[in-house]
Structure 1
């Protein structure tokens, strides 16, 4: 990583155990505590981390990022090497799944396995014609929600809960997670808080060049996890990833939408540990 970049991390399990590195989407709290704990019980050193401009990682200007998707991928590889001499199991969720795909393609020597959760194989923006895009009716309802006072913790948490209800996620879990995300952000500045909660930095990030056509190059065991009810990245995106990555396994969570429910922790952990 560049000398001026620091990443917020949290450790679970034995530091001498094989590393599972969880890239946030965008903050590390996208990865539920029960899943991290289940992976640690399975004999792994679990490290979840915040992407740049989120959580406890370096925050400069989330509305005008001076780095690219490739830089975020390089962060993942550098962090993996710093934490363990052995290749790591890299996992990414949502936009973190895009980081993970590019990291595994650009830095294959750093990773021994890959898990991709609730993500797709193209950058934010217009989607490929053969991939399902965001559900338009759900997105209309989501974007019609009144914006919160981004400097007010309770207002932000209520907004997160309302958005979760629209998307099919658990509102109570989203409320509690939003409180934690709010508290971990470096300030109550509205731009910083909205970036932490919405991941809008990706709308302004240079994600070129495309990487979907390179997916057949991946030569590590890969697990694709996707919620059957996900209206943001519909399940067809996960199905396409599993088809295009050689030997990938697809795990569809029948009752999940965009977030990983705590109740799925043991099932997802078992699948990840089997790689």
Structure 2
């Protein structure tokens, strides 16, 4: 279902009892709403939650912003290193407004918000902009964006910058190789199921230009870390000890900055959500939601 979320048209999926407590799920960089594991969705639905997820702007079936052009990421990275202000096509603050617009469109006054990776950053921006709309915040494998935090290891960085060919098989192999690099060493996903899930996402929508614009928004968001210290939102921070894309120090920094935040570290978890990780995540998440 497509809705008008303030200034952007977004594809959403709304499941579960409409009179139950709502939880808004915000996905990470370049990923669509279909990337959420069925085991996580089922666990939330069985606990009685109204589960709302959506394609972020510029990805999937939501509105694309191709008219804004494709940023030069190496140039933006250089500007960031020189502490020069970034000029992204849009900002994470705009994506947070999209997320609040989803709640508006569905007449949800307050919701639990869970974001993974870039989605965690957007969720943090939501909590900064409109704390009264959040029952709780859960930030998974994400970062505060503070200067000096470690980034991806060299092999992951190279894989992120590599561009696959335009045919479906080349794109699939590129994504499979990336998942092998960033995936959870302690919780291996079923290779055939992973292949099918990635292939389904490619057939649904493949829009790498939108991913570049989203990355530009991440790079430009250099002041979120300071704002997190003023949050008064019940917060759970979950991070994998073996995350090679957003290292554990980033999650530790998030939890240290947000007053009262609880940090939970999952051994063997990288930068993905295989069923084994979901089985560790749900026992942490459900009590956090129920308490608020």
> Structure 1-normalised TM-score?
0.85
Question: Is the Cα–Cα contact under 8 Å of residues 12 and 55 in structure 2 kept in the other structure?
Answer: yes
Q: Does residue 269 in structure 1 map to residue 282 in structure 2?
A: yes
Question: Is the Cα–Cα contact under 8 Å of residues 143 and 250 in structure 2 kept in the other structure?
Answer: yes
Aligned partner of 2:198 in structure 1 is 178
Question: Is the Cα–Cα contact under 8 Å of residues 9 and 48 in structure 1 kept in the other structure?
Answer: yes
Once the 2 structures are TM-superposed, how far is the Cα of residue 94 of structure 1 from its aligned partner? 1.1
Aligned partner of 1:221 in structure 2 is 234
SS in 2 for 1:274: helix
List alignment gaps of at least 5 residues for structure 2. Answer: 72-87
Of 9-18 and 172-181, the range deviating more from structure 2? 172-181
Aligned partner of 1:201 in structure 2 is 213
Partners of 1:75 and 1:248 in 2: CA distance: 25
Question: Is the Cα–Cα contact under 8 Å of residues 215 and 245 in structure 1 kept in the other structure?
Answer: yes
Aligned partner of 1:41 in structure 2 is 46
Superposed CA offset, 1:46-97 (max 9, x none) = 1111110001111131726743221111111121233243310011111111
Out of 166, 182, 193, which is 1:167 matched to?
182
Question: Is the Cα–Cα contact under 8 Å of residues 182 and 272 in structure 2 kept in the other structure?
Answer: no
Of 206-215 and 6-15, the range deviating more from structure 2? 206-215
Q: Does residue 134 in structure 1 map to residue 152 in structure 2?
A: yes
Q: Does residue 120 in structure 1 map to residue 129 in structure 2?
A: no
List alignment gaps of at least 5 residues for structure 1. Answer: none
Once the 2 structures are TM-superposed, how far is the Cα of residue 137 of structure 1 from its aligned partner? 4.4
Q: 1:172 to 1:29 in 2, by over 3 A?
A: same
- After the TM superposition, which parts of structure 1 deviate over 3 Å for at least 4 consecutive aligned residues? 1-4, 168-174, 206-209
Partners of 1:11 and 1:264 in 2: CA distance: 24
Aligned partner of 2:169 in structure 1 is 154
Q: Does residue 52 in structure 1 map to residue 57 in structure 2?
A: yes
Once the 2 structures are TM-superposed, how far is the Cα of residue 183 of structure 1 from its aligned partner? 2.0
Aligned partner of 1:24 in structure 2 is 27
Question: Is the Cα–Cα contact under 8 Å of residues 34 and 265 in structure 1 kept in the other structure?
Answer: yes
Q: Does residue 14 in structure 1 map to residue 33 in structure 2?
A: no
Out of 110, 114, 118, which is 2:133 matched to?
110
Q: 1:143 to 1:273 in 2, by over 3 A?
A: closer
CA RMSD of aligned residues (A): 2.3
Question: Is the Cα–Cα contact under 8 Å of residues 121 and 212 in structure 1 kept in the other structure?
Answer: yes
Question: Is the Cα–Cα contact under 8 Å of residues 38 and 266 in structure 1 kept in the other structure?
Answer: no
Partners of 1:14 and 1:195 in 2: CA distance: 36
Question: Is the Cα–Cα contact under 8 Å of residues 73 and 99 in structure 1 kept in the other structure?
Answer: yes
Q: 1:240 to 1:40 in 2, by over 3 A?
A: same
Superposed CA offset, 1:195-241 (max 9, x none) = 46xx3222333844611111122112111111111111101111111
What is the aligned residue count?
259
